[in-house]
């Protein structure tokens, strides 16, 4: 259902100059989807929609046409540069970072869009990330270590961000 709704949202914003969440919700309802304001807001975040000026100068929702590979690499470098250690308990990962870097590292972690990672919250130097199931933990840990350790995906070629 969510995938169908996301496809419909993308179709709607391609065809119409949608300016508000309310307008998007109304168009979804007209298309047969039962949605709330909270659902539409969450969908906008998940689809990474943004508002841009249309030809008439009015703001409208648009979708990125593709992920910027340089941005993804920068996020992963932030995670690698901030990383100190990690521990796991069941389906909870606790990642320690350099002081003051947890929020940026959590944003980088979330940007990876791994289906096993449901989300994360960050303090000053600690991230708590929820993994879909305890069985997914070893794979997630291995992939994080590949990104953050010397010799990992970016470990030997890091540049200042």
Q: pTM to 2 decimals? A: 0.53
Which whole number is the average pLDDT over 120-141? Answer: 95
Q: In what side-by-side order are the strands of the sheet with 92-97?
A: 83-89, 92-97, 126-131, 117-122
User: Which of 36-40, 50-54, 63-67, 114-118 is the least confident region?
Assistant: 63-67
- Above 70 in pLDDT, residue 154? no
Beta-carbon contacts of residue 70 (< 8 Å; ≥ 6 apart): none
Which whole number is the average pLDDT over 49-75? Answer: 76
Confidence of residue 158 (pLDDT cuts 50, 70, 90): very low
Owner of token pair 């870097």: 101
At 67, is the secondary structure helix, strand, or coil? coil
CA torsion sign for 72, 78, 81, 82 is negative
pLDDT for res 152 = 47
- Above 70 in pLDDT, residue 13? yes
Q: How do residues 72-95 score in pLDDT, each as one tens digit?
A: 677 778 889 999 999 999 999 999
Let me know: does 143 contact 63? Beta carbons within 8 Å. Answer: no
- Above 80 in pLDDT, residue 71? no
Q: Can you list the domains of the chain with their CATH numbers?
A: 2-62 (1.10.10.10), 69-148 (3.30.1360.40)
């Amino acid at each position: 259902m969510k995938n169908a709704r996301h496809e419909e949202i993308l179709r709607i914003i391609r065809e119409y100059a949608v300016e508000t969440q309310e307008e998007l919700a109304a168009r979804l309802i007209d298309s047969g989807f039962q949605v709330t304001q909270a659902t539409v807001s969450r969908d906008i975040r998940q689809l990474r929609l943004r508002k841009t000026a249309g030809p008439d100068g009015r703001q409208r929702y648009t979708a990125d046409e593709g992920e910027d590979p340089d941005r993804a690499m920068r996020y992963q470098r932030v995670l690698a540069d901030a990383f100190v250690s990690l521990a796991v308990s069941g389906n909870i990962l606790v990642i320690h970072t350099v002081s003051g870097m947890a929020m940026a590292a959590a944003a980088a972690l979330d940007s990876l869009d791994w289906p096993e990672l449901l989300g994360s919250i960050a303090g000053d130097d600690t991230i708590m990330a929820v993994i879909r199931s305890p069985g997914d933990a070893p794979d997630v840990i291995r992939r994080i270590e590949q990104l953050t350790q010397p010799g990992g995906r970016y470990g030997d070629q890091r540049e200042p961000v």
